[in-house]
Amino acid sequence: MRQTCCEYPHAGPDLSPAGHSRPEWAYRPGVDSEPSDEVIVVGSGVAGLTTAVVLAESGRRVRVWAREPAERTTSAVAGGLWWPYRIEPEPLVGAWALASLTVYEELARRPQETGVRLVDGVHRGARLDGLGAWAGRVAGLRAVAEGLAARLPLIDMPVHLAWLRERLVEAGGVVEVREVPALAAVPAPVVVNCTGLGARSLVPDPAVRPVRGQLVVVENPGITTWFTSVEHASDASTYFMPQPGGLLLGGTAEDDDWSLRPDPATAAAIVARCAAVRPEIARARVLGHRVGLRPARDAVRLERQRLADGRVLVHNYGHGGAGITVAWGCARQAAELAFPAA
């Protein structure tokens, strides 16, 4: 894995253009009056890059601005399993998730390139009647003695983020590492806000809050299936995800915890819970630790806003623990909001 015990992801971008020249196509408020296909996407996590790809491949001129490169975002340390988790509102989440599932199933034909594989596993304790209507459209999802079994996309996020960036560049997009103090300072006729937890200060939106997740990466002792078991009354969960660089063990869901430093006691508890399911995990060598802050919100904010100077600002953030799961569905809707069909 590209993350090690000494590398910590940032909670989200804090963006500011000081010291950077304007792009040659930069929007000039009060001067440019005609509609433009120029857009700046703020944020380089999975939501930002996927949105940028959708926009660029529809013919828009796209730049991504972010304080950190994609490999330093929360997306890069995610377990990578497609599944709606800690995200609302459910009626919309289902459509976004299924749209993304269709894309991931196609990308799984090229796993080494895209980082996407279809992998079997079990959600222990889950029930079909406890899921939304979307579950009926997930091929192969079925009840078993332990809970629910399925073959789902499992995404190696460092590889996938690099692939998204390459796909964006091939479509004519540009990624810039830079900072901006306010969304209104971004010089483009259309701005898309995909800043995740960074939206708390950048918008500002106090409804966005962190949900801390900690993982342990170990040498894989031969496990080829994923496993999850979530205790909704606790901030602890049990899951493991076989990725090319090791077995990812989790996890936690600690509300309003901003710490990015791995806690040794938490790590030991994670290993113990996973080893209770698969005893061979107890003997696996630890390769590293990961911490990420999920950008939680009571509901995803996916909406169009008209700024005072007439420019368009589209918000696409607050995806909680399911940013990967809804990335393509939300990206397509964000693109439609940015450039509505005539």
Binding residues for FAD: 74-75, 180, 195, 320-325
Binding site, by residue number, is 74-75, 180, 195, 239, 294, 320-325
d(CA 187, CA 40): 8
Beta strands in the chain (DSSP E): 38-42, 61-66, 116-124, 142-143, 147-155, 174-177, 190-193, 209-218, 226-230, 236-243, 246-252, 254-255, 286-296, 301-306, 312-317
Tokens 């630790």 correspond to what residue? 289
CA angle 101, 99, 45 (to 5 degrees): 75
Tokens 């003997």 correspond to what residue? 283
Binding site for D-dopa, by residue number, is 239, 294, 321
Side by side, the strands of the sheet bearing 301-306 are: 174-177, 61-66, 38-42, 190-193, 312-317, 301-306
CA dihedral 249, 254, 259, 260 (to 10 degrees): 30
Beta bridge partners of residue 289, listed in sequence order:
216
Tokens standing for 271? 């290993």
